[in-house]
């Protein structure tokens, strides 16, 4: 996630230099502002971006469970707040089959998982290592945390 945004630093720097070169031929005094801005913006962007990444690290919790002899894994991510439910297949080239993905939101001591299926929104809850409201299983499902 951070690599994609960080790559724009050089583009911003390059655009300021390019505008500075064009302004140099039109009005030399203004071009100095673009050259100074290129350096200052690069440093400011780098400082705030690195500071944000340090204070908001990526983390993900994984939980395994079974439904009808299928091995399923729930992944809850922080930064960004997303979740994914995957089917783990043993003898497959691609060992993960995506069942669904969506956003999560912290609600007190539980996590609200916002799902979408066939044009309809629904909510599931993750509370005390249990998944409540999965459309395939109306009962609460006991989850095992994967270390």
pLDDT of residue 98: 80
Q: Work out the percent of the chain whose per-residue pLDDT is above 70.
A: 90
User: Per residue in 68-99, pLDDT tens?
Assistant: 888 899 999 887 788 999 988 876 666 778 88
pLDDT higher than 80, residue 51: no
pLDDT of residue 1: 45
Question: CA torsion sign, 87 to 89 to 90 to 96?
Answer: negative
For residue 128 the two structure tokens come to: 């005390």
User: In terms of Cα–Cα distance, which of 147, 117, 144, 141 is closest to 67?
Assistant: 141
pLDDT higher than 90, residue 9: no
pLDDT higher than 90, residue 122: no
Mean pLDDT over 105-109 rounds to: 89
Q: Work out the percent of the chain whose per-residue pLDDT is above 90.
A: 13
CATH label, 59-146, candidates 2.60.40, 2.40.128, 1.20.58, 2.40.160? 2.40.128
- Name the more confident of 117 and 22: 22
pLDDT of residue 126: 92
- Name the more confident of 33 and 1: 33
User: What is the longest distance spanned by two Cα atoms in the chain?
Assistant: 73
């Amino acid at each position: 996630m951070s690599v994609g945004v960080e790559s724009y630093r050089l583009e911003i720097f390059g655009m300021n230099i390019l505008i500075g070169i064009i302004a140099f031929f039109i009005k030399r005094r203004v071009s100095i502002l673009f050259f100074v801005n290129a350096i200052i913006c690069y440093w400011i962007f780098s400082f705030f971006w690195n500071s944000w990444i340090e204070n908001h690290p990526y983390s993900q919790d994984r939980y395994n469970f079974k439904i009808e002899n299928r091995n399923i894994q729930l992944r809850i991510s922080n930064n960004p707040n997303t979740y994914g439910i995957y089917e783990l297949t043993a003898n497959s080239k691609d060992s993960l089959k995506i069942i669904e993905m969506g956003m999560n939101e912290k609600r007190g001591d539980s996590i609200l998982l916002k799902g979408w299926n066939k044009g309809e929104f629904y909510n599931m809850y993750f509370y005390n290592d249990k998944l409540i409201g999965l459309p395939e299983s109306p009962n609460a499902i006991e989850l095992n945390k994967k270390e």
